[in-house]
């Protein structure tokens, strides 16, 4: 005799407190002999104690056997608290000799749809999800348990609570880990038929697969049968998915009905019904892909009668995932929109070697394969190496379950909001707080937290404003929720959530010593205009108007500081035809025509002004003013007036290159990771320092990277000295070993030449990087994050050579 199959189903009562555990077994009698057998079931807790047991005697000829255990107030399973029990099934003969023993983990939970809302153990669930392919850069699809464990630990640290197994059932070990660590799983059948249907088609056509064609029915249903049959006992699986992007048809309704008949405890998902409404019965929820936040909100206002999710959204190709905060705000605001699954987890590039034996991450085309999809598979929150991309940190912040708000900033009183469904903050988390003045810590401490699930609490930071403070400094308090104990996925003290608030501490900055007009020296020759003050020299080219020299005892500039309106296109730029649409700005700064270069004294100040015509069609106007003060500091103001009807600008700013010896970057602004206008939630205001080389992000395909928003000041240093840039009030700054043109000159990072200089970009702003999708005109940033050409842009910054 053999237990061929078994199903363990937990049935919580109406109060989600006590539970029945139903066990159904299928027997296999190999020899057909009739005899008495005994099936027993024991349920063990984590301490090994038996908390329930049941047994049944029956004839060996019976193919089915069922047992039910009643369990009082079991610990419930959820992604927040993945409490597991062990079910032990024992098959013995009439003489009580053991024939077989099977073990399975059991989690007591109920997942259901009430009205148009999905509930886990009675509470509205919000999927903070990710799509995941099984992938390793060195092993391809042949991943092992260590790879899976690494993925799941990074997910938990990122506040991800759900995974869609795009687009096939995963290795068995993955579900075991999701059970143990706590991840909600949408288990997806291996059905995908791209290319056999068209977006917008109304009726089934001859080449649609599987559609409603009878000859495909058993194959489709079998994909559902094998998935459910293998994976049904995992508490982490709460939704079955019929497949991916295969349109509709009656075969999907057959799959749905088979699953619901086999397993009525879980709902069924299929996004394809959105494209073929006659197949509506195939899905128990509304599901869409890459719908914009605005369109999703409009759709949700309709009377659909089902909960809504985005099974794919926020396409992560290359440097992306702008606009994510809009989705998360919408998920919080509209109850029956219950989150979604970002596309996707890890870049699908292969670790390969050049002919010289150097490692690199290969994409389509690197193997002589034509046609190919280039880096179309590199959509992850992680690089193929497993290192988090900058957008990983954006996801972590947007997904955090502990929020903070300000109650009374003058009294340092704040409110902590616990968005967990089942976890109280007491004993699990602590509040770490730090007050910084211009990024330098001046006070810190730890406070207990007590808010229960879904509750809020007030906290007061025991900080008193100093009687004296740094002139012109900004004082910010950072609130961090950190683990109060070790957990399987991280250690005590790990930060799971943060926010920052500016404190009302001000002291006017004392103006620098004024210089007399006689202290500012001006000299001219046929080719240049030179301004000298306090040992600092600034040199302007009379032909181009550019600042060709600036420094103390040496020229720090390798190439002139000039207006610059371009950036290395990211994947979203390339796929939205950004280079064609906005290409007029690529060399607009370099090809500018100098109209005039003039200087004059105004009291104790000296002003130099360069006016340009920018050769766009129609032409644009640009003026750059340089005002000199004490210490050789120079305030630069650029004003750009774009021509009427021009395309949006990739960037508004200036660029210069410095000697490569300027290889250390220090900044007070958002960091430590890349931030952009539409992706700035993952950064925090602080004082950071690092090597210029480390600011470059090695995406498999070279593209824009290294930007820092909200920069109050930045400094590049070398053995020669340092160059400081101060915003008025803030800037976007990047310092990389390559110019945007050099970044675009090669596909892969390993093909770039050795650094020859440091490329410094001082921007008013860059247009956002986009992130809803990566194709067509929808790949661009949302309008509020675009530098439209229908307005005048003016910004200032201060340069100081030290």
Active site amino acids? 245, 312
Q: Helix (H, G, I), strand (E, B), or coil: what is residue 785?
A: helix
* CA torsion angle 324 669 694 498 (round to 10): -50
Cβ pair 239, 259 in contact under 8 A: no
Percentage helix, strand, coil for the chain under 3-state DSSP, each rounded to 5: 15, 40, 45
Lookup: tokens for 560: 């002139």
In whole angstroms, give the CA distance from residue 585 to residue 568. 12
In whole angstroms, give the CA distance from residue 660 to residue 45. 62
Question: What is the bridge-based pairing of β-strands 268-269 and 237-241?
Answer: parallel
Cβ pair 350, 140 in contact under 8 A: yes
Q: Within 10 Å of residue 378's Cβ, how many Cβ atoms?
A: 25
Residue labelled with tokens 């508004």: 652
Element spanning 621, H or E: strand 620-628
Cβ pair 626, 636 in contact under 8 A: yes
In the chain, the N- to C-terminal Cα span, in Å, equals: 85
In whole angstroms, give the CA distance from residue 243 to residue 221. 11
DSSP string, 238-268: EEEE--BS----HHHHHHHHHHHHH-TTS-E
In whole angstroms, give the CA distance from residue 583 to residue 586. 5
In whole angstroms, give the CA distance from residue 616 to residue 575. 23
Cβ pair 364, 352 in contact under 8 A: no
Task: Look up residue 136 and give its DSSP letter.
Answer: B
Q: Within 10 Å of residue 746's Cβ, how many Cβ atoms?
A: 14
Lookup: tokens for 87: 């079910």
Lookup: tokens for 735: 């310092």
Residues paired with 793 in a beta bridge: 640
Cβ pair 52, 98 in contact under 8 A: no
Angular region, 545: left φ>0, alpha ψ -120 to 50, beta rest:
left
Cβ pair 13, 67 in contact under 8 A: no
Q: What is the biggest distance separating any 2 CA atoms in the chain, rounded to whole angstroms?
A: 115
- Comparing CA positions, the residue from 705, 668, 136 lying closest to residue 389 is 705
In whole angstroms, give the CA distance from residue 199 to residue 248. 11
- Comparing CA positions, the residue from 786, 782, 739 lying closest to residue 765 is 786
- Return the half-sphere exposure (C-beta side, CA atoms, 13 A cut-off) of residue 371: 2
In whole angstroms, give the CA distance from residue 739 to residue 758. 8
Cβ pair 458, 408 in contact under 8 A: no
SS3 per residue for 573-613: HHHCCHHHHHHHHCCCCCCCEEEEEEEEEECCEEEEEEEEE
């Amino acid at each position: 005799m053999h237990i061929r199959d078994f199903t363990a189903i937990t049935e919580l009562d109406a109060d989600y407190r006590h539970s029945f555990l139903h066990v159904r077994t299928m027997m296999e009698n190999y020899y057909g002999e009739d005899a008495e057998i005994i099936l027993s079931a024991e349920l063990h807790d984590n301490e090994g104690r038996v908390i329930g047991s049941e047994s049944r005697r029956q004839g060996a000829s019976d193919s089915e056997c069922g047992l039910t255990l009643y369990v009082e107030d079991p610990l419930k399973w959820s992604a927040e608290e993945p409490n597991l029990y062990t079910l032990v099934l024992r098959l013995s003969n009439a003489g009580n000799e053991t024939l077989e023993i099977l073990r399975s983990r059991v989690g007591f939970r109920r997942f259901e749809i009430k009205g148009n809302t999905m509930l886990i153990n009675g509470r509205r669930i919000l999927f903070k999800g990710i799509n995941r392919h099984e992938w390793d850069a060195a092993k391809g699809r042949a991943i092992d348990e260590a790879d899976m464990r690494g993925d799941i630990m990074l997910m938990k640290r990122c506040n991800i609570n759900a995974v869609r197994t795009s687009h096939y059932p995963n290795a068995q070990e993955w579900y075991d880990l999701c059970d143990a660590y706590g991840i909600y799983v949408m288990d997806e059948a291996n059905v995908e038929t791209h290319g056999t249907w068209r977006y917008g088609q109304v009726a089934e056509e001859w080449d649609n697969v599987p559609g409603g064609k009878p000859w495909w029915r058993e194959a489709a249903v079998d994909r559902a049968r094998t998935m459910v049959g293998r994976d049904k006992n995992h508490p982490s699986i709460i939704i079955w998915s019929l497949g991916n992007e295969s349109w509709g048809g009656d075969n999907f309704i057959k799959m749905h009905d088979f699953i619901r008949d086999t397993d009525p405890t879980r709902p069924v998902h299929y996004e394809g019904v959105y494209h073929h409404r006659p197949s509506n019965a195939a899905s128990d929820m509304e599901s869409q892909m890459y719908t914009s936040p605005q369109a999703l909100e409009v759709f949700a206002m309709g009377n659909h009668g089902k909960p809504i999710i985005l099974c794919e959204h926020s396409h992560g190709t290359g440097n992306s995932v702008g606009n994510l905060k809009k989705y998360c705000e919408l998920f919080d605001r509209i109850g029956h929109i219950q989150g979604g699954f970002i596309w996707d987890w890890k870049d699908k590039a292969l670790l390969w070697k050049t002919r010289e034996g150097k490692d690199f991450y290969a994409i389509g085309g690197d193997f002589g394969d034509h046609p190919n999809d280039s880096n179309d598979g590199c959509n992850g929150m992680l690089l193929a190496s497993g290192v988090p991309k900058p957008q990983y940190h954006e996801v972590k912040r947007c997904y955090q379950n502990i929020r903070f708000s300000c109650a009374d900033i003058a009294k340092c009183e704040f409110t902590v909001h616990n968005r967990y469904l089942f976890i109280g903050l007491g004993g699990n988390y602590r509040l770490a707080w730090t007050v910084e003045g211009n990024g330098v810590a001046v006070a810190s401490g730890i406070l207990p937290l007590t808010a229960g699930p879904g509750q809020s609490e007030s906290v007061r930071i025991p900080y008193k404003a100093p009687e004296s403070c740094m002139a012109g400094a900004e004082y910010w308090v950072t609130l961090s929720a950190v683990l109060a104990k070790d957990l399987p996925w991280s250690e005590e003290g790990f930060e799971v959530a943060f926010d920052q608030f500016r404190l009302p501490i001000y002291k006017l900055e004392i103006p620098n010593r004024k210089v007399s007009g006689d202290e500012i020296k001006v000299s001219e020759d046929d080719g240049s205009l030179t301004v000298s003050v306090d040992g600092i020299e600034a040199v302007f080219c009379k032909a181009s108007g550019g600042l060709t020299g600036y420094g103390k005892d040496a020229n720090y500039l390798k190439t002139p500081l000039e207006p610059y309106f371009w950036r290395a296109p990211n994947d979203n730029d390339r796929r939205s035809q950004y280079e064609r649409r906005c290409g007029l700005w690529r060399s607009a700064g370099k090809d500018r025509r100098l109209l005039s270069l003039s200087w004059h004294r105004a009291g104790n100040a000296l002003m130099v002004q360069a006016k340009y015509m920018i050769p766009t069609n129609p032409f644009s106007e640009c003026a750059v003013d340089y005002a000199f003060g004490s210490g050789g500091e120079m305030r630069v103001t650029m004003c750009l007036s774009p021509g009427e009807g021009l395309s949006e600008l990739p960037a508004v700013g200036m660029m210069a290159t410095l000697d490569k010896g300027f290889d250390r970057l220090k900044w007070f602004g958002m960091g430590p990771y890349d931030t952009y206008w539409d992706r700035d939630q993952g950064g925090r205001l602080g004082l950071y320092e690092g090597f210029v080389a480390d600011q470059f992000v090695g995406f498999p395909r070279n593209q824009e990277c290294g930007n820092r928003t909200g920069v109050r000041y930045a400094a590049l240093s070398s053995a020669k000295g340092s160059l400081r840039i101060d915003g008025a009030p803030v800037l976007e700054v990047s310092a990389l070993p390559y110019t945007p043109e050099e970044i675009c000159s090669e596909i892969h990072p390993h093909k770039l030449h050795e650094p020859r200089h440091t490329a410094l970009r001082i921007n008013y702003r860059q247009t956002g990087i986009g992130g809803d999708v990566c194709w067509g005109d929808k790949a661009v940033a949302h309008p509020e994050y675009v530098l439209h050409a229908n307005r005048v842009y003016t910004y200032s910054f201060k340069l100081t050579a030290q």
